[in-house]
Amino acid sequence: MRNLGLILELTRWRRAGHVARLWWRDDDAAGSATTLDRLLLDRLIVVAGKTGCPVTLAVVPSGDMSGLAARLAAAPAQVGVAQHGVDHTNRREGPVAGEFPHDWTAAQVREALARGWAGIATLPRAIKVYMPPWNDVHPALAEVLAGEGYAALSANGELDGETGLPRLDSHLDLMRWRGGARFRGRRRFLSKLTTELRRRRLAGHWDAPVGLLTHHLTHDTGAWTFLGEFLTWTRARPEFAWTSLPQLLPAGSQEAPPTKAAGRPRRATRRPLAHAA
């Protein structure tokens, strides 16, 4: 990756003896999938398998899950599942989309969440982490999630404020959305990665994971090409370690060591931080 700013930032990380942790989330897999949707998901799973990078599919609890379950059962072990909303339906008025109107009570949110989780709970390697569509966080969401036994909330890394629940956010969206979905572009993406690494270094939050966000249903040729190159490149760099979502959770951090390139050993880590200051 020919990006001077990123190379200089990685040099600072290497000299400090730290490794940047990366994790990967892909949105919008569902049981109600067309033939093209299934082919695109298969393509994503192949990329994960070839690169050896763990990916968490944010699955919409919609449609018959049996076909998706069968394909996940045959997928590499590093392909996991989390809950992407309750049905991916916008129930808001106005420009900001969200599944839960703000006048919904905690009881209404809880009921919808339970229905959604029931739809994906039996999928292979499903973990009880909630990933809201449109990164929308209802005022009662974190409290309800904690009460229902969810391990974490994953939204957008630019959101501020305390949620009362561990946050494992995404920070690097492969796509641009304004004016139609398309690849963000190599320069923009690597500049954002550099910014996220710098934020962690300056704040002393070396262990805060950086979340890659992809959307297999909307990838264009540029996105698919860059994704494979980026995953392969980071796997070969000693400054990065690919980590699965369960390994980032407080209760699951001891399951297995992260998938990382050969290089200097990581320092002991403290409790994972999802937000850089």
Say if 207 falls within a structural domain: yes
pLDDT above 60: residue 270:
no
Task: Give the span between the Cα atoms of 267 and 19, in whole angstroms.
Answer: 8
pLDDT band at 73 (very low <50, low <70, confident <90, very high): very high
Residue 163 has a pLDDT of 60
Say if 230 falls within a structural domain: yes
Say if 24 falls within a structural domain: yes
Say if 253 falls within a structural domain: no
- Domain of residue 148 covers 4-245
CATH number at residue 24: 3.20.20.370
pLDDT in tens, 238-251: 999 999 999 999 86
Say if 227 falls within a structural domain: yes
Say if 264 falls within a structural domain: no
How many separate domains does the chain show? Answer: 1
141: Cα separation from own chain's centroid: 18
pLDDT in tens, 198-211: 999 999 999 999 99
Say if 74 falls within a structural domain: yes
Q: How many helices (H) and strands (E) does the chain have?
A: 8, 11
Task: Give the span between the Cα atoms of 259 and 256, in whole angstroms.
Answer: 9
Contacts for 138-143: CB closer than 8 Å, 24+ residues apart? 138/98, 138/100, 138/102, 138/104, 138/109, 139/102, 140/104, 140/105, 140/106, 140/109, 141/100, 141/109, 143/106
Task: Give the span between the Cα atoms of 115 and 142, in whole angstroms.
Answer: 17
pLDDT band at 153 (very low <50, low <70, confident <90, very high): very high
Say if 277 falls within a structural domain: no
